[in-house]
Structure 1
């Protein structure tokens, strides 16, 4: 080694000092990813702390520190990956992969797992334990993705792989956010349309001010001028600041595992889609010159989810779309180090303070645009004649959202749909049974319907038959169309029969099509 070279991180004369990881683009990337991350933190606080009135000790003292612990680890990992790639390829312009809590998972984990369990049991800590177990198991699915993603991608149609992620993004992120935004139009509609403008306007509206920061500023200013936000909310948030250090919750994870079975039909399909998103993000980064190791990235994605769960977070982490955009802006890897600062602030309760300054409805603007961006990405990657795959996959997710909304409304009246009797809805011409059939196991049925439709569009009737037979198997154990697993549930026999008939019919078409092919 050259004794004159005092920098241990140098190669072929190229030195990597601390400043080399930063450029002006890192500031823009920081505000963009920060707005995305904080929007999800704001939703978690809004739903669990203010909406469901869960204990502050749980939300501020366990969940948020767990998110921070897993996310800080992820920031360090992806910063280091970019640093290593720069040394390996003798260049300084490597852009780190953006990373954080998964947007789709925040909403589905909240409204399909944590909140329903809490309302059924009245035990916030038990609901949290089920969420922890879901995140913990989901992390292992992500790790498995590092070994099975390519075979899955090779076997299953590209059109089907991410369609339910696009559907979930449109419904749970975009549509759900849209309703929240229009509940406070005075403060949130202007930021919304500013965000829409950024879909085509890729420069800063005002020089040296990132667009994401300007959108937050516009919404916050409107809120303070209109009296929606004020000093009273800030003072209350200040009173809740303190030191909230993360702890290990291994016992709580195992307690939650006892009740995780009904939610596997949500966890498994979503986590499959999650590791496929990571795979596509890595492939996208490679197209602009940053070739990260695919398997290592997917495994580390799962590890950060597991670490998050161990330290109290029920929400899985993931690599985000957007690397190519931050690459265009000139970002390197420094923005990942900058993100450690707001995550560290979560150990002191600063998230609540920030939520008091920036209204929840303004934050939802970023989640809406994230949902649209994900759906656009999936749509643009598909051949134009495969759009039906996304449309069909929307229906179970929409049914799931509607039933969740109905449950939430009736919950405030200490009632439920079943207390009125489904027969009354049938007599009134309301297809409430259809909503329940579609909503139970929605992510699994959405995924399988998209696979079946994609095979049909490809005229691959043999694989379409296989997909239909698999739907019959899933129905036979209550994985879809039922709220819990059981062997041959009486109410699902009709679905098992129908899917078997569909499979047989597809197999007949396969044989017929094969016989018509000239030799």
Structure 2
């Protein structure tokens, strides 16, 4: 018999499941469940969105996106293992993106629902409209990611890393760090112990029994404390959850997102950066996996997250999917390709059958919030570590608009300041410039794009590229004029500049004029260098 001419690599078949996949499965599932739990806690608990809409309409489509993305990443890992002849290929982990998913709940869906209720819409109608807004937002971000997946490398050349990471780092520290920290400490025994265990396991790299993943260990201890202390009467405000009975829901594609598109327009200044940051994050994740030995094609990684986000949006989802930065960590756990398959099936099918929603209803905010705090702090630290040292000040500068948005969230809460009093303070001129509250609100509106522009301008100055700084300043002036950044509407809506009147017109032109004036001054200063070079 003649010897076989087939390549051994072509015949290579790696095992679908290995023991390490179980660790990877628990870690990835807990990450996704914690994000779903926080979304539910924010929408249902903080804003009052009807639970049946969150669990019965928003979650099934969101879970479908996780299923589609993980199935595709599992297939990519199997293909790479077959081509390379290796048994140690680890699939790219995919799940719900923590910053933008929670940002959607706190900055888009929750405020939109509250605004509809304030205008007299009943909870059910407002909830349906909010769901359609979430679908539309996801389709917009998915479409943007689909287009940008073919130009991801160019984006990283145009926008400095300090601007990309600084803008999301500020949002992470302030919105994912501080706000959930308040919720963490409302049940201090449960929250602080959970947070401390997360820091012990993930930051200090402390040893845990049976090599349990750190997030899972902290999660289980937190749950035991919450329900143990609560049932013993030692936890203030404890009550067993009032679960909503849920029937299986198959998330069919629909055109419901079209109904939400008009409502999504005022939030474009948040949605577009959310999508852009996920593209950049996907590029970074691909590089991280490549450094760990798994050479995935960057465009394929980006296309999968774009497709899964679009599928989720069209089928009723409200939170975008993304590849997680921890692919090397899952490789160190011994996970290969089975853990993403298991996660996709558990979250996807469990979301459709109501199992995931049933679990999420029993997850207390005091246990979920510390996980989000850790994520927020970790993202903020990464913004500094992944940036050139001389650009670190640009990262810090990019954090400031997020602080303004945090204050806007708190001041805009009708339970804190009555709407009539808010409007009075917004227009209160005291002889020391623009109204203080108006300045805070205007600085916070469009804060992610503002942060990216500020950091880009400062990096251009540091790198002695004045023309680039001038161009960004003029762009900022134009965006200000239309309310894409520094919107003078308290809700952050965009507008045509000639439609503004009175104080709002004055504020808009003052901010736009400030950028233009600085652009002129920098342009004149740059002439010094050109004159010096001409003299030489």
Q: What TM-score do you get using the length of structure 2 for normalisation? A: 0.88
Q: How does 1:362-377 map to 2 (within 5 A)?
A: 362-377=367-382
SS at match of 1:162: helix
* Structure 2 Cα separation of the partners of residues 205 and 175 of structure 1: 28
* Structure 1 Cα separation of the partners of residues 204 and 368 of structure 2: 20
User: 1:13: how far off?
Assistant: 4.5
Q: Quick check: 177-186 or 487-496, which moved more?
A: 487-496
Equivalent of 1:500 in 508, 512, 516: 516
State yes or no: 1:242 paired with 2:237.
Answer: no
Equivalent of 2:162 in 131, 135, 159: 159
User: 1:356: how far off?
Assistant: 4.8
- The aligned counterpart of 2:265 is 261
State yes or no: 1:461 paired with 2:457.
Answer: no
SS at match of 1:289: coil
- The aligned counterpart of 2:122 is none
State yes or no: 1:88 paired with 2:93.
Answer: no
SS at match of 2:276: helix
* Structure 2 Cα separation of the partners of residues 185 and 191 of structure 1: 10
User: 1:288: how far off?
Assistant: 1.2
8 Å contact kept, 2:67–2:348:
yes
**Structure 1 pair 184/214, CA: closer, same or farther in 2 (3 Å)?**
same
Q: How does 1:277-356 map to 2 (within 5 A)?
A: 277-339=281-343, 340-356=345-361
8 Å contact kept, 1:281–1:323:
yes
Which 5+ residue runs of structure 2 have no aligned equivalent?
118-125
**Structure 1 pair 217/347, CA: closer, same or farther in 2 (3 Å)?**
same
8 Å contact kept, 1:145–1:299:
no
State yes or no: 1:447 paired with 2:452.
Answer: yes
**Structure 1 pair 417/246, CA: closer, same or farther in 2 (3 Å)?**
farther
Q: Quick check: 203-212 or 156-165, which moved more?
A: 203-212
8 Å contact kept, 1:399–1:438:
yes
- The aligned counterpart of 1:172 is 175
8 Å contact kept, 1:475–1:492:
yes
8 Å contact kept, 2:67–2:347:
no
User: 1:412: how far off?
Assistant: 7.2
SS at match of 1:82: helix
8 Å contact kept, 1:216–1:358:
no
* Structure 2 Cα separation of the partners of residues 175 and 229 of structure 1: 30
* Structure 2 Cα separation of the partners of residues 316 and 9 of structure 1: 40
* Structure 1 Cα separation of the partners of residues 337 and 524 of structure 2: 55
Equivalent of 2:110 in 115, 120, 125: 115
- The aligned counterpart of 2:19 is 23
State yes or no: 1:514 paired with 2:523.
Answer: no
SS at match of 1:199: helix
* Structure 1 Cα separation of the partners of residues 478 and 7 of structure 2: 55
State the aligned residue count: 509
**Structure 1 pair 325/516, CA: closer, same or farther in 2 (3 Å)?**
farther
8 Å contact kept, 2:249–2:353:
yes
User: 1:457: how far off?
Assistant: 1.5
**Structure 1 pair 10/82, CA: closer, same or farther in 2 (3 Å)?**
farther
Equivalent of 2:62 in 67, 71, 78: 67
User: 1:156: how far off?
Assistant: 2.6
1:380-436 Cα shifts (integer Å, max 9, x gaps): 11122211112111111111122112223x247764653444355858998212211
Q: How does 1:173-188 map to 2 (within 5 A)?
A: 173-188=176-191
State yes or no: 1:487 paired with 2:492.
Answer: no
User: 1:309: how far off?
Assistant: 0.6
- The aligned counterpart of 2:123 is none
User: 1:80: how far off?
Assistant: 0.8
**Structure 1 pair 54/354, CA: closer, same or farther in 2 (3 Å)?**
same
User: 1:481: how far off?
Assistant: 0.9
User: 1:469: how far off?
Assistant: 0.7
The runs of at least 4 consecutive aligned structure 1 residues that moved more than 4 Å come to 232-235, 411-414, 423-430
- The aligned counterpart of 2:137 is 134
**Structure 1 pair 66/214, CA: closer, same or farther in 2 (3 Å)?**
same
SS at match of 1:318: strand
1:86-128 Cα shifts (integer Å, max 9, x gaps): 1111111111112111111122212222122212222121122
1:260-312 Cα shifts (integer Å, max 9, x gaps): 22111111122111110111111111111111111121122111111111111
**Structure 1 pair 317/304, CA: closer, same or farther in 2 (3 Å)?**
same
CA RMSD, aligned part only?
A: 2.7
* Structure 2 Cα separation of the partners of residues 88 and 34 of structure 1: 29
* Structure 2 Cα separation of the partners of residues 454 and 181 of structure 1: 36
* Structure 2 Cα separation of the partners of residues 469 and 95 of structure 1: 46
8 Å contact kept, 1:244–1:347:
yes
* Structure 1 Cα separation of the partners of residues 366 and 348 of structure 2: 21
